[in-house]
Structure 1
Amino acid sequence: MTVNIPGLVSVVVFYLVVLGTGIWASKKSKKEEKKCTGKESEIAMVGGRNLNIWVSIFTTTATWIGGGFILGNAEVTYLPNKGLLWVIAPIGFALNLIVAALFFVRPVHKRKYVTVMDPFQEKYGDTLTSVLFIPSLLADVFWVACILAALGGTMSVILDIPSHLAVIISAAVAIMYTLLGGLYSVAYTDVIQLFLMLLGLWFCVPFALLSPASADITFTAVNELYQPPWIGRLELRDVGKWLDDLLMLTMGGVCYQALYQRILATATVRQAQITCYAGAAMCIILGVPPILIGAVAASTDWNQTSYGLPTPYEQDKAGSILPIVLQYLCPPFVSIAGIGAIAAAVMSSIDSALLSSSSLFARNIYKNIIRRKKASEREILCVVKVSVLLFGALGTGLAMTTSSVFVFWYLSGDMMYGVVCPQLLAVFFLSSYTNGYGSAVGLVAGVSLRYLMGEPTLRLPPLLILPGCRIEDGVHVQYFPFRTTTMLAALAVILLVSRLASFLFLHGLLPERWDIFGVRRPAITLRDVAPKELPEDSALNSALPFTSLNDAKPDALE
């Protein structure tokens, strides 16, 4: 093994630049903390709610366009049994940000939340929130594992260094600057990282397209040469699975704390919406280069390259197809630019995922539950930093267990869509029809149904087989939209059980001492309360988590 010294030097320089930016941003963070005594933890989590609009756009885009996005799109385009028609991520991520702008920005800004778990804590209390936190944590850890696996595979191909070494070094750098400055460090390093992604990826594309070992991708898009056409096939029987994947990326994404950190870091609702719309456009633009590189890989006679045969797909290296193309079809200086782009993509997402999960734990679990809101701001900041270290270590360990970034990428989104999404929709838009009993049973139902549906990427056979299920490579694959079925079923359970529990307790069919979620709590109507007399954190306001009664006009109470 011969280490690629120029490439290694370029990566070291990039890491030093990112780390330097993080240190500079941490000084800005400390200045803001001095100005806002008593809110130091919010500075770390949501940047003092005054992030520059351009920085907000850059950090939102860079967070969504991570290593999983870039390598995953190239992998799916290259796979003979997938192809371009199955590259759903750019569309799904763009729709995700548009949905967030239309329906979620205003409610969270109105109540000045800090985390996505705040409305759950207001509505259901501490016990249930601590349970609902678990799927969000797992999704973030899977996300960290996904993007670290992407970088490890890339560096092992281009730099000829062990993938586990690349994973450990990259995780250490991201953890270090996230610890230093919280959201400020994350946001300002994202500006540099997004610029490098745009420049590096688009710079590599022409060289890959002009490689003498590759056929014209416009020909191989619809004609079989070295493998089936890379445009792929989408038959009528596949539409359910395609829509299921699209809805998972669209609605699963609105459940991530990383999204709300950026929404809440802006000063106004309008700025947050502009951020989301601009990020949606950038998802489409940055989705093109990896698709083109995947198309080149599908159009390449690998026997004409130093890679030789068997092909990357036959060697089970489809997950690293983008760095393989850069290494074997492009000049050395181009592959170095590509590794910089991928490293930037990875770093821009791992720091966000680490800060996201750490913020949820520090605020909603440690501060509100373990310490019963008695923890000092410095204590909370300390917990954030310890959590960054712990969750970073968990994600780093998982990143070394698979060669495909596609696996963890989908597991993360799947967890959010099937388990967290119905809970989020219920608490945001159906709050008056739900209670803790419905939420708890809905959570169990969502997890149980998802397990019964099986998971082909983990070779977990389905115990509940839906129409259209097929056997592929010895594994049952559900082509019915089973993820969406799980999500809708969990939402229905939340509403039905909430209704049933309310009926049983309010009609005295169950004793009041069993009412742990307070369904029989004395009802307060709008007519009973003058708008200026109700405290902001009152029980009634908590039951309506997106619109404070303090904001109501007197005539609205009539």
Structure 2
Amino acid sequence: MAVDVPGLVAVLGFYIVILVIGIWASRKSKKEEKTCTGNKSEITIVGGRNINVLVGVFTMTATWVGGGYIMGTAEAVYSPAQGLIWAIGPPAYFTNFILGGLFFAKPMRSKRYVTMLDPFQHRYGNMFTTVLLLPALVADILWVACILAALGGTMSIILGLSSTLSIIISAAVSIIYTFLGGLYSVAYTDIIQLTFIFFSLWLCIPFLILSPAVTDISQTAFVNQSSGNSWLGELELADAGKWADELLLLALGGLAYQALHQRILSAASSAQAQFTCFAAAGTIFVMGIPSVIIGAVAASADWNQTEYGLPPPYERGEAGKILPLALHYLTPTWVSVLGIGSVAAAVMSSMDSALLSSASMFTQNIYKTTLRKQASERELQWVIRVSVLLVGLAGTGLAFGGGSVFSLWLVSGDLLYCTLLPQLISVLHFHSANTYGAISGFVVGVLLRLLSGEPLLGIPPLLLFPGWREKDGVITQYFPYRTLTMLASQMCIIIVSWLIELGFRHQLIPQSWDLLGVFEEKKEEEGEKIPDTQEAKNFIHNTKL
């Protein structure tokens, strides 16, 4: 396939604009650093807690509107085995932001944490916090791989450009401006990226609907004469467990992403952080509508009337590329180029967030507190930059493996949902949670998740839940096993923490067995409070006399 030179020039022009804005924002970041009297690394990580509401809503929405969201939603609606009812991204992310605003924004922002791992470090110490960084890091790398794979497939179809070259160029642009400006560069480029995604995708919709090869989507909503399927889809009782599991994974798993909390913590106040979450809930839902329409159009198209021909994309195993295929074969060339621009913008708006997310946690919670406690602010900023580069390279390398965008999208949040979310809920909302319970819950979560298997990673299930099915030698679990794993981990944290504390308080367990020193610290804290309380009582008594 020949390279579309005008289209390539247009996309490269868009990349240059984004890069220029990112560099401009990095200069703004440096000005803030010069006037900052506190920790300069916080300028890079949370923008000095000076991100206004409008920019906050843009950057929070843009973070979630990635290649996985746009292409994964279109893939679900188009796929004959799924349909609209399986396009869980928009309602899941709407729920994610609402819950984030209600239950996480205030406790995180009011205590002025810098990263999502700070509450763990304050309660459990450095060692266990280091362990919790691992699933968060893996999730971010998978997220980067997911969105880059989405872009590589899109550019190869529309522009005729090598998928490998597309991935490398896009990754390089995101890494450069995130490397230079931290959250300021990420936030300000997100404004341009999200605006472009919105207008370009909606501009493509009329051309898709009016294409001669497309049947009116209102007529194919229930029965498509050419395929016998409905793009609305149907949910059978036997599939309800899998559907609920994937919905909850995206709706709740997103609460354990550092990228979400980074934006919450960058707000000027707790109230502003909550408002940002609620406003982003509405915008994220609206941003998913074009992908739903594109999926419906693709399902209603007679591909034999296009240059693509038969068999259709689903039968060729190209359902994951349905969005770029629809743009390329069902719209004029200049319109499809706008579409590729929107996917490129979505990729960079999410990739930069994932890069900064992992780099921030490593620098703040591992390097600064464990490896180099005396590190200067200049040194910490360079650690953030090097971390951005390494995470970017890891995700880019993994993106070359291909695979379903929708599957990568789910797996990127899987570990966080099953292991990190219960930990975050416990540390913020259960004051009795202690290190023993946290470790037990983490071990239970990891073991159950591994035993349940993961086809995408080639891990066979050793624990089979009711309703499992086997096809072509691959076992698929239809029971909500991820949610069961998350709940088991959550209950383990609470129950073990309560039992251990009960044992030490009532001396059922010898004090010498407190190997982690959890209850020695509590005893010291209580001992410090008693004299203060007694002094206060004596003061009141003497005053009355």
1:528 aligns with 2:527: no
Relative to structure 1, the CA distance from residue 527 to residue 3 in structure 2 (aligned partners, 3 Å threshold; closer, same or farther) is same
State the match for 1:233 in structure 2: 234
State the match for 2:434 in structure 1: 435
1:162 aligns with 2:178: no
Instruction: Please say if residues 261 and 356 of structure 1, whose CA atoms lie closer than 8 Å, have aligned partners that are also in contact.
Output: yes
Deviations 1:115-143 (A, max 9, x none): 00000000100111101110001011111
What is the rounded CA distance, in whole Å, between the counterparts of 2:188 and 2:278 in structure 1?
Answer: 20
Deviations 1:276-304 (A, max 9, x none): 11111111111111111111111112111
What is the rounded CA distance, in whole Å, between the counterparts of 1:46 and 1:339 in structure 2?
Answer: 31
State the match for 2:396 in structure 1: 396
State the match for 2:445 in structure 1: 446
Deviation for aligned residue 1:442: 1.2
1:111 aligns with 2:119: no
SS at 2:218's partner residue?
helix
Deviations 1:293-341 (A, max 9, x none): 1111111121111111222112211111100100011000100110111
State the match for 1:45 in structure 2: 45
What is the rounded CA distance, in whole Å, between the counterparts of 2:393 and 2:78 in structure 1?
Answer: 31
Instruction: Please say if residues 437 and 517 of structure 1, whose CA atoms lie closer than 8 Å, have aligned partners that are also in contact.
Output: no
What is the rounded CA distance, in whole Å, between the counterparts of 1:462 and 1:248 in structure 2?
Answer: 19
What is the rounded CA distance, in whole Å, between the counterparts of 1:58 and 1:295 in structure 2?
Answer: 27
Deviations 1:97-116 (A, max 9, x none): 00010111111111100000
Matches within 5 A, 1:509-528: 509-510=509-510, 512=512, 514-521=514-521, 522=523, 524-525=525-526, 528=530
Deviation for aligned residue 1:513: 6.0
Relative to structure 1, the CA distance from residue 267 to residue 530 in structure 2 (aligned partners, 3 Å threshold; closer, same or farther) is farther
Deviation for aligned residue 1:251: 1.1
Instruction: Please say if residues 68 and 405 of structure 1, whose CA atoms lie closer than 8 Å, have aligned partners that are also in contact.
Output: yes
Instruction: Please say if residues 11 and 340 of structure 1, whose CA atoms lie closer than 8 Å, have aligned partners that are also in contact.
Output: yes
> What one-letter code is carried by the residue in structure 1 that aligns with 2:444?
A
State the match for 2:197 in structure 1: 197
State the match for 2:270 in structure 1: 269
State the match for 2:482 in structure 1: 483
Deviation for aligned residue 1:518: 2.2
What is the rounded CA distance, in whole Å, between the counterparts of 2:270 and 2:367 in structure 1?
Answer: 29
State the match for 2:27 in structure 1: 27
Matches within 5 A, 1:85-164: 85-164=85-164
What is the rounded CA distance, in whole Å, between the counterparts of 2:498 and 2:275 in structure 1?
Answer: 38
Deviation for aligned residue 1:180: 0.8
Instruction: Please say if residues 115 and 359 of structure 1, whose CA atoms lie closer than 8 Å, have aligned partners that are also in contact.
Output: yes
SS at 1:519's partner residue?
helix
State the match for 1:356 in structure 2: 357
> What one-letter code is carried by the residue in structure 2 that aligns with 1:451?
L
What is the rounded CA distance, in whole Å, between the counterparts of 2:531 and 2:364 in structure 1?
Answer: 30
State the match for 1:285 in structure 2: 286
Deviation for aligned residue 1:179: 0.8
What is the rounded CA distance, in whole Å, between the counterparts of 2:513 and 2:488 in structure 1?
Answer: 30
What is the rounded CA distance, in whole Å, between the counterparts of 2:375 and 2:403 in structure 1?
Answer: 42
What is the rounded CA distance, in whole Å, between the counterparts of 1:318 and 1:223 in structure 2?
Answer: 19
What is the rounded CA distance, in whole Å, between the counterparts of 1:425 and 1:529 in structure 2?
Answer: 33
What is the rounded CA distance, in whole Å, between the counterparts of 2:111 and 2:289 in structure 1?
Answer: 38
Deviation for aligned residue 1:503: 4.0
Structure 2 unaligned spans of 5+: 541-545
What is the rounded CA distance, in whole Å, between the counterparts of 1:218 and 1:500 in structure 2?
Answer: 58
Structure 1 stretches of at least 4 aligned residues deviating more than 6 Å after TM superposition: none
Deviation for aligned residue 1:505: 4.1
Paired residues in the alignment total: 531
Relative to structure 1, the CA distance from residue 237 to residue 403 in structure 2 (aligned partners, 3 Å threshold; closer, same or farther) is closer
State the match for 1:332 in structure 2: 333
Deviation for aligned residue 1:406: 1.2
SS at 2:204's partner residue?
helix
Structure 1 unaligned spans of 5+: 534-553
Deviation for aligned residue 1:462: 2.3
What is the rounded CA distance, in whole Å, between the counterparts of 2:98 and 2:63 in structure 1?
Answer: 15
Deviation for aligned residue 1:38: 3.8
State the match for 1:5 in structure 2: 5
State the match for 1:368 in structure 2: 369
Instruction: Please say if residues 224 and 300 of structure 2, whose CA atoms lie closer than 8 Å, have aligned partners that are also in contact.
Output: no
> What one-letter code is carried by the residue in structure 2 that aligns with 1:283?
I
> What one-letter code is carried by the residue in structure 2 that aligns with 1:138?
V
State the match for 2:454 in structure 1: 455
Deviation for aligned residue 1:527: 5.8
Instruction: Please say if residues 96 and 251 of structure 2, whose CA atoms lie closer than 8 Å, have aligned partners that are also in contact.
Output: yes
Instruction: Please say if residues 146 and 409 of structure 1, whose CA atoms lie closer than 8 Å, have aligned partners that are also in contact.
Output: yes
What is the rounded CA distance, in whole Å, between the counterparts of 1:472 and 1:28 in structure 2?
Answer: 55
SS at 1:115's partner residue?
coil
What is the RMSD computed on CA atoms of the aligned residues?
1.8
State the match for 2:312 in structure 1: 311
| Most deviating of 11-20 and 36-45 | 36-45
Deviation for aligned residue 1:530: 5.9
Matches within 5 A, 1:490-505: 490-505=489-504
Instruction: Please say if residues 110 and 269 of structure 2, whose CA atoms lie closer than 8 Å, have aligned partners that are also in contact.
Output: no
Instruction: Please say if residues 61 and 284 of structure 2, whose CA atoms lie closer than 8 Å, have aligned partners that are also in contact.
Output: yes
What is the rounded CA distance, in whole Å, between the counterparts of 1:289 and 1:101 in structure 2?
Answer: 26
Matches within 5 A, 1:545-556: none
SS at 1:520's partner residue?
helix
Deviation for aligned residue 1:404: 1.8
Deviation for aligned residue 1:519: 2.3
Instruction: Please say if residues 225 and 299 of structure 1, whose CA atoms lie closer than 8 Å, have aligned partners that are also in contact.
Output: no
Instruction: Please say if residues 445 and 486 of structure 2, whose CA atoms lie closer than 8 Å, have aligned partners that are also in contact.
Output: yes
Deviations 1:443-476 (A, max 9, x none): 1110110111222444543222222222344432
What is the rounded CA distance, in whole Å, between the counterparts of 2:517 and 2:352 in structure 1?
Answer: 36
What is the rounded CA distance, in whole Å, between the counterparts of 1:408 and 1:231 in structure 2?
Answer: 23
What is the rounded CA distance, in whole Å, between the counterparts of 1:437 and 1:8 in structure 2?
Answer: 55
What is the rounded CA distance, in whole Å, between the counterparts of 2:364 and 2:226 in structure 1?
Answer: 54
Deviation for aligned residue 1:510: 4.0
Deviation for aligned residue 1:359: 0.2
State the match for 2:378 in structure 1: 378
Instruction: Please say if residues 55 and 188 of structure 1, whose CA atoms lie closer than 8 Å, have aligned partners that are also in contact.
Output: yes
SS at 2:475's partner residue?
strand
